[in-house]
Amino acid sequence: MSLVYMNIMMAFTVSLTGLLMYRSHLMSSLLCLEGMMLSLFILATLMILNSHFTLASMMPIILLVFAACEAALGLSLLVMVSNTYGTDYVQNLNLLRC
Amino acid sequence: MMTYIVFILSVIFVMGFVGFSSKPSPIYGGLGLIVSGGVGCGIVLNFGGSFLGLMVFLIYLGGMMVVFGYTTAMATEQYPEVWVSNKVVLGAFITGLLMEFLMVYYVLKDKEVEIVFKFNGMGDWVIYDTGDSGFFSEEAMGIAALYSYGTWLVIVTGWSLLIGVVVIMEITRGN
C-alpha cells in the first residue's frame, strides 16, 4: 500500500483518540468527529482515484452529505446545552450521576 | 523534493489533525481543521480529482466549518486557550508530533513500515492501467452518474436531509 494511506489512517486514529478523551468543551469533541469524517473522505477519494473505480466517485460526496447532517444535529444539541447552562462545558452534563 | 510532495502534504495533514485533537479552545481547533482541510484538498488534487478537491473547499470548509465557527463564537469563553497556554494541551501536541515524526523516520530508514498493513514507498510508482479513458475526466463522469445510476441514492439523501432539518427544528424548539 502507498505511504500516503498510512498518514491518512494515522490522522483518523489521532482524531478518534481525540474524540474519546474529553477535556472541558463539548465543541472540541464535535470538531474531532468532523476531523474523522474529513480523513475518511480523503482516504476514500484517494483509493477510488487510484484504482480508477469511476462509478464509486459519488460515494465520498454522499459521505459528506451524511457528515453534514450529523454535524448539524450535534451542533443543535450543543446549542441547547449552551442555552440551558450558559456554556458548553462537559461537566454540566451530570444529571445521570449515580 | 517535488516527487514526494504528496507524502509531505500528508505529513502536514496529520500535524493539523494533532493540532485540534490535543484540544485547545475550539476556535483554535477550527483553525487546525481548516489547515488540514486545505492540505487534504491539495492531496486530492495531486491524485487528479479536481472536482472532489473543490467539494472539500466549498462544501466542507465553506459550509460546515463556517457553521462551526459561528457556533463556537456563540459559546466561547473570554480568554481562549491556545496551545502554549496549558501544559496538557502542549504535551499532547508534542507527543502527537513526536509520534508522526518517528513514523516518518522509520519510513525513511527502512523504506517500508508494517503496522497492520505493509506500507511501502514503491506503491506510489505503480500505475493501474484500466484502459483508455478518452478525452473526459473519469472522476467527473463518475459523479455525473449520481443522476443516472444513483437516482435512488439522491432521493434517500435528500429525504434524510429534510428529516434532519425537521429533527433539528424540533430539538431547538425548547419545550
B149 and B162, same domain (yes or no): yes
C-alpha cell at B172: 431547538
CATH code of the domain in which A60 resides: 1.10.287.3510
| Residue A82: inside a domain | yes
| Residue A61: inside a domain | yes
CATH code of the domain in which B79 resides: 1.20.120
- Interface check for A13 against chain B (CB to CB < 8 A): the answer is no
Is B72 in contact with A27 (CB distance < 8 Å)? Answer: yes
B73 and B61, same domain (yes or no): yes
Q: Considering only CA atoms, which of B116, B97, B78 is closest in space to residue B21?
A: B97
The pLDDT of residue B81 = 84
pTM, to two decimals: 0.92
Is A31 in contact with B29 (CB distance < 8 Å)? Answer: yes
B140 and B108, same domain (yes or no): no
- Count up the domains in chain A and report the number: 1
Which residues does chain B have within 8 Å of residue A13's beta carbon, measured at their own beta carbons?
none
B141 and B121, same domain (yes or no): no
ipTM for the assembly: 0.93
- Interface check for B27 against chain A (CB to CB < 8 A): the answer is no
Instruction: Encode pLDDT of B113-143 as tens digits.
Output: 777 777 776 666 666 666 677 788 888 999 9
Chain center to CA of B40: 5
Å from A62 to nearest chain B CA? Answer: 7
CB burial readout B60-87, b (16+ within 10 A) else e: bbeebbeebeebbeebbeeeebebeebe
| Residue A97: inside a domain | no
- Count up the domains in chain B and report the number: 2
B110 and B38, same domain (yes or no): yes
Instruction: Encode pLDDT of A52-77 as tens digits.
Output: 888 999 999 999 999 999 999 999 99
Least confident span in A39-48, B42-51, B75-84: B75-84
